[in-house]
Protein backbone atom coordinates (compact mmCIF):
# COMPACT_ATOMS: atom_id res chain seq x y z
CA UNK A 1 0.00 0.00 0.00
CA UNK A 2 1.36 3.41 -0.96
CA UNK A 3 1.09 6.33 1.41
CA UNK A 4 0.72 9.76 -0.11
CA UNK A 5 2.61 12.55 1.51
CA UNK A 6 1.23 16.07 1.38
CA UNK A 7 2.72 18.28 -1.31
CA UNK A 8 2.47 21.46 0.67
CA UNK A 9 2.79 22.10 4.34
CA UNK A 10 1.38 24.85 6.43
CA UNK A 11 4.67 26.61 7.11
CA UNK A 12 2.95 29.67 8.55
CA UNK A 13 2.08 27.71 11.71
CA UNK A 14 5.68 26.98 12.64
CA UNK A 15 6.64 27.91 16.17
CA UNK A 16 9.41 30.47 16.33
CA UNK A 17 11.33 29.94 19.55
CA UNK A 18 12.68 32.98 21.34
CA UNK A 19 16.35 32.88 22.19
CA UNK A 20 16.75 34.91 25.33
CA UNK A 21 19.86 36.45 26.75
CA UNK A 22 20.86 35.86 30.35
CA UNK A 23 19.74 39.38 31.44
CA UNK A 24 16.32 38.79 29.84
CA UNK A 25 15.89 35.48 31.67
CA UNK A 26 16.90 37.06 34.98
CA UNK A 27 14.51 39.96 34.37
CA UNK A 28 11.65 37.48 33.94
CA UNK A 29 12.71 35.71 37.16
CA UNK A 30 12.75 39.05 39.00
CA UNK A 31 9.26 39.90 37.72
CA UNK A 32 7.63 36.75 39.10
CA UNK A 33 6.53 35.68 42.57
CA UNK A 34 7.38 32.34 44.14
CA UNK A 35 7.20 29.50 43.20
CA UNK A 36 7.14 30.68 39.58
CA UNK A 37 10.38 32.66 39.79
CA UNK A 38 12.26 29.61 41.05
CA UNK A 39 10.63 27.43 38.40
CA UNK A 40 11.83 29.79 35.67
CA UNK A 41 15.29 29.90 37.24
CA UNK A 42 15.37 26.08 37.28
CA UNK A 43 14.48 25.72 33.59
CA UNK A 44 16.96 28.47 32.61
CA UNK A 45 19.88 26.87 34.47
CA UNK A 46 19.32 23.13 34.03
CA UNK A 47 18.27 21.23 30.90
CA UNK A 48 14.95 19.86 32.19
CA UNK A 49 11.55 19.78 30.58
CA UNK A 50 8.70 21.55 32.34
CA UNK A 51 7.01 18.18 33.04
CA UNK A 52 10.13 17.07 34.92
CA UNK A 53 10.58 20.38 36.73
CA UNK A 54 7.08 20.52 38.21
CA UNK A 55 7.44 16.93 39.41
CA UNK A 56 10.25 17.82 41.83
CA UNK A 57 9.75 17.17 45.55
CA UNK A 58 11.95 18.41 48.37
CA UNK A 59 13.14 14.85 48.98
CA UNK A 60 14.60 14.75 45.45
CA UNK A 61 17.46 17.02 46.58
CA UNK A 62 20.45 15.26 48.10
CA UNK A 63 23.26 17.69 48.78
CA UNK A 64 23.75 19.54 45.52
CA UNK A 65 22.29 16.74 43.34
CA UNK A 66 18.72 16.82 42.05
CA UNK A 67 17.26 13.44 41.11
CA UNK A 68 14.41 13.60 38.60
CA UNK A 69 12.17 10.74 39.73
CA UNK A 70 8.84 11.63 38.15
CA UNK A 71 7.08 13.67 35.50
CA UNK A 72 3.74 15.42 35.82
CA UNK A 73 1.54 15.26 32.77
CA UNK A 74 -2.10 16.40 32.58
CA UNK A 75 -2.20 16.82 36.37
CA UNK A 76 -1.01 13.29 37.17
CA UNK A 77 2.41 12.34 38.50
CA UNK A 78 4.11 9.38 36.85
CA UNK A 79 7.09 7.78 38.53
CA UNK A 80 10.08 7.06 36.32
CA UNK A 81 11.77 3.69 36.26
CA UNK A 82 15.21 3.72 37.93
CA UNK A 83 16.85 3.46 34.49
CA UNK A 84 14.93 6.57 33.33
CA UNK A 85 15.74 8.72 36.36
CA UNK A 86 18.39 11.40 35.99
CA UNK A 87 20.76 12.86 38.56
CA UNK A 88 21.68 16.46 37.85
CA UNK A 89 24.28 18.40 39.84
CA UNK A 90 23.19 21.92 40.75
CA UNK A 91 26.12 24.29 40.95
CA UNK A 92 24.01 27.45 41.19
CA UNK A 93 23.95 28.27 44.93
CA UNK A 94 20.95 30.64 44.63
CA UNK A 95 18.88 28.03 42.79
CA UNK A 96 19.81 25.35 45.29
CA UNK A 97 18.82 27.56 48.24
CA UNK A 98 15.50 28.45 46.59
CA UNK A 99 14.67 24.80 45.87
CA UNK A 100 15.47 23.79 49.44
CA UNK A 101 13.38 26.62 50.87
CA UNK A 102 10.35 25.74 48.73
CA UNK A 103 10.74 22.00 49.32
CA UNK A 104 11.01 21.98 53.11
CA UNK A 105 7.44 22.77 54.06
CA UNK A 106 5.58 21.26 51.09
CA UNK A 107 5.08 18.00 49.30
CA UNK A 108 5.84 19.43 45.86
CA UNK A 109 8.44 22.13 45.35
CA UNK A 110 6.20 23.80 42.74
CA UNK A 111 2.68 23.38 44.04
CA UNK A 112 -0.60 25.21 43.70
CA UNK A 113 -2.68 26.54 46.58
CA UNK A 114 -4.52 23.23 46.92
CA UNK A 115 -1.30 21.20 47.28
CA UNK A 116 -1.12 19.69 43.80
CA UNK A 117 1.70 20.27 41.31
CA UNK A 118 1.21 23.51 39.42
CA UNK A 119 -0.38 23.39 36.01
CA UNK A 120 2.28 24.58 33.54
CA UNK A 121 -0.31 25.84 31.04
CA UNK A 122 -1.99 28.02 33.66
CA UNK A 123 1.37 29.24 34.97
CA UNK A 124 2.46 30.13 31.44
CA UNK A 125 -0.76 31.98 30.65
CA UNK A 126 -1.27 33.75 34.01
CA UNK A 127 2.27 34.54 35.09
CA UNK A 128 5.06 33.81 32.60
CA UNK A 129 3.68 35.42 29.44
CA UNK A 130 2.46 38.63 31.16
CA UNK A 131 5.86 39.05 32.87
CA UNK A 132 7.68 38.56 29.55
CA UNK A 133 5.29 40.87 27.70
CA UNK A 134 5.85 43.61 30.30
CA UNK A 135 9.58 43.36 29.52
CA UNK A 136 9.00 43.36 25.75
CA UNK A 137 10.10 39.73 25.31
CA UNK A 138 8.11 37.64 22.84
CA UNK A 139 7.82 34.25 24.46
CA UNK A 140 6.12 31.14 23.10
CA UNK A 141 6.31 29.09 26.26
CA UNK A 142 8.39 27.04 28.66
CA UNK A 143 10.32 25.30 25.91
CA UNK A 144 11.92 28.61 24.87
CA UNK A 145 14.08 28.44 28.01
CA UNK A 146 15.28 24.97 27.07
CA UNK A 147 16.13 26.08 23.53
CA UNK A 148 18.01 29.12 24.82
CA UNK A 149 20.03 26.99 27.22
CA UNK A 150 20.90 24.33 24.64
CA UNK A 151 21.85 26.96 22.05
CA UNK A 152 24.15 28.50 24.62
CA UNK A 153 25.79 25.11 25.19
CA UNK A 154 26.32 24.66 21.46
CA UNK A 155 27.56 28.19 20.91
CA UNK A 156 30.33 27.81 23.48
CA UNK A 157 30.86 24.14 22.65
CA UNK A 158 30.20 23.24 26.25
CA UNK A 159 30.28 19.55 26.90
CA UNK A 160 28.61 19.74 30.27
CA UNK A 161 25.75 21.72 31.85
CA UNK A 162 28.16 22.48 34.69
CA UNK A 163 30.16 24.81 32.41
CA UNK A 164 27.51 27.53 32.08
CA UNK A 165 29.60 30.60 32.80
CA UNK A 166 32.35 31.64 30.42
**For 93-124, how does the pLDDT look when each residue is reduced to its tens digit (9 = 90+)?**
999 999 999 988 778 999 988 889 999 999 99
Name 57's bridge partners: 108
Q: How many CA atoms are closer than 13 Å to the CA of 86, on its beta-carbon side?
A: 12
Quote the Cα angle for 58-62-67, to 5°. 75
Taking the C-alpha atoms of residue 137 and residue 54, their distance in angstroms, rounded to an integer, is 23
Cα-Cα end-to-end distance for the chain: 55
Q: What are the structural domains, with CATH classification, of the chain?
A: 19-155 (1.10.443.10)
- DSSP-assigned letter for residue 2: -
Taking each helix axis from N to C end, the angle separating 36-45 and 143-155, rounded to the nearest 10 degrees, works out to 30
Question: 3-state DSSP call for residue 98?
Answer: helix
Taking the C-alpha atoms of residue 142 and residue 50, their distance in angstroms, rounded to an integer, is 7
Res. 154: pLDDT tops 80: no
Res. 126: pLDDT tops 50: yes
Predicted local distance difference test score (pLDDT) of residue 60: 94
Among 15, 21, 34, which Cα is nearest to 127's?
Answer: 34
Res. 71: pLDDT tops 90: yes
Res. 162: pLDDT tops 70: no
Query: What is the dihedral sign for C-alpha 85, 88, 93, 94?
Result: negative
Amino acid sequence: MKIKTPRTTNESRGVKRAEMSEPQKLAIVAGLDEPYSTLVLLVTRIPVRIEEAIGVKGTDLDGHVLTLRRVVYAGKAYGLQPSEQRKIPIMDIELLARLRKLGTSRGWVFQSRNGTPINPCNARRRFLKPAAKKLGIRLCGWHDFRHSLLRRYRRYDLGSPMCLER
